């Protein structure tokens, strides 16, 4: 081999030796979908330690995602955009029955539903809602469904005795109270606590009308069995880790526990109304 050829060969071998060895392809990020019951900023803040712990436990990247509203979230949930969905119990039950999602765990304690008023416009009794407007931020939520049924049991039927107005977010809900456009707002206590503190200080609960089941966690139908097993184990082990405990503190969750099948069938009386909300155009 001539000297120039040898020099070219040595240069090629040196270049190959210096080139970085391609890293093993990382696993696809696990998609965790969280229902948009509060604003996206708060969801991402609360779920950051949840994500960090899952990444360590599963040794793969995890991404937290949400949507613009309940219906957009549900549509992504049922097509498998989320490997793990965290949603109200009624929404999860509908997805289980109609699209094969597999619920396995639930947050505790349950979610308090309350009627809230503006302190400077106090309401003495729910009967004062008659002929007026009730503000809602998430009319598809289990809190709203149970709240409307609670009012009906007290002789107040929606669209007959009172109207409803849908607020874009918790801040808008408070504004409707402040202007007197709506004397009462129906919301979960978590939604109430998500209102800016300065605004929340001017709100007051009239009554807690129900305590509904906490959010339910479910896995997508297409997720491989091994991934389902590992993911479920990691979620149920959250309270055993420092990041997991920090998530529970931020989210106001005391326990993440396995779900009993009977807890889902108990929600069947909400399925028709929930399906109506999700399919209405």
Mean of the pLDDT values across residues 32-41?
94
Q: What is the model's pTM?
A: 0.83
Per-residue pLDDT at 173? 82
**26 falls in which pLDDT band (50, 70, 90)?**
low
Tens of pLDDT along 159-169? 999 999 988 77
Q: Which of 230, 242, 250 is nearest to 30 (CA)?
A: 230
At residue 281, does pLDDT exceed 80?
Answer: no
Cβ neighbours of 57 (radius 10 Å)? 20
Per-residue pLDDT at 271? 94
Mean of the pLDDT values across residues 97-106?
97
User: Taking all residues of the chain, what is their mean pLDDT, rounded to a whole number?
Assistant: 89
% of residues, the chain, pLDDT over 90:
77
Residue 50 CA to chain centroid, in angstroms? 13
Q: Strand pairing of 84-87 and 255-258? A: unpaired
Cβ neighbours of 94 (radius 10 Å)? 28
Tens of pLDDT along 261-275? 999 999 999 999 999
Q: Which of 211, 190, 193, 35 is nearest to 110 (CA)?
A: 211
Tens of pLDDT along 56-74? 999 999 999 999 999 999 9
At residue 19, does pLDDT exceed 80?
Answer: no
Q: What torsion do the CA atoms of 208, 166, 169, 276 make, to the nearest 10 degrees?
A: 80
Q: Count the alpha carbons within 13 Å of 257 in the hemisphere toward its beta carbon.
A: 12
Give yes or no for a contact between 57 and 239, defined as CB atoms under 8 angstroms apart. no
CA distance 237 to 245: 10
At residue 184, does pLDDT exceed 90?
Answer: yes
**155 falls in which pLDDT band (50, 70, 90)?**
very high
Ranges 22-26, 29-33, 134-138: which has the least confidence: 22-26
Per-residue pLDDT at 196? 87
């Amino acid at each position: 081999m001539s000297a120039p050829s040898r020099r070219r060969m040595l240069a090629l071998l040196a270049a190959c030796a210096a080139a970085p060895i391609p890293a093993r392809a990382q696993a696809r990020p696990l998609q965790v979908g969280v229902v948009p019951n509060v604003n996206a900023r708060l969801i991402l803040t609360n779920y950051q330690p949840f994500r960090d712990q899952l990444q360590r436990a599963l040794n793969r990247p995890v991404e937290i995602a949400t949507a613009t509203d309940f219906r957009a979230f549900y549509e992504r949930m049922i097509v498998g955009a989320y490997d793990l969905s965290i949603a109200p119990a009624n929404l999860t039950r509908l997805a289980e029955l109609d699209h094969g999602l597999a619920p396995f765990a639930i947050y505790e304690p349950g979610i308090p539903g309350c009627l809230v008023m503006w302190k400077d416009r106090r309401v003495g009794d729910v009967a004062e809602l008659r002929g007026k407007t009730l503000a809602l931020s998430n009319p598809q939520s289990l809190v709203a469904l149970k709240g409307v049924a609670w009012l009906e049991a007290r002789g107040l039927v929606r669209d007959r005795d009172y109207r409803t107005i849908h607020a874009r977010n918790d801040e808008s809900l408070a504004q409707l109270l402040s202007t007197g456009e709506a004397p009462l707002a129906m919301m979960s206590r978590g939604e109430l606590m998500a209102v800016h503190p300065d605004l929340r200080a001017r709100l007051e609960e009239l009554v807690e009308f129900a305590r509904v089941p906490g959010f339910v966690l479910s896995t997508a139908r297409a997720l491989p069995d091994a991934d389902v097993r590992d993911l479920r184990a990691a979620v149920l082990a959250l309270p055993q880790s420092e990041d997991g405990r920090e998530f529970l503190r931020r989210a106001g969750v005391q326990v993440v526990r396995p779900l009993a099948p009977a807890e889902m069938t108990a929600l069947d009386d909400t399925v028709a109304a929930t399906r109506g909300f999700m399919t209405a155009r």
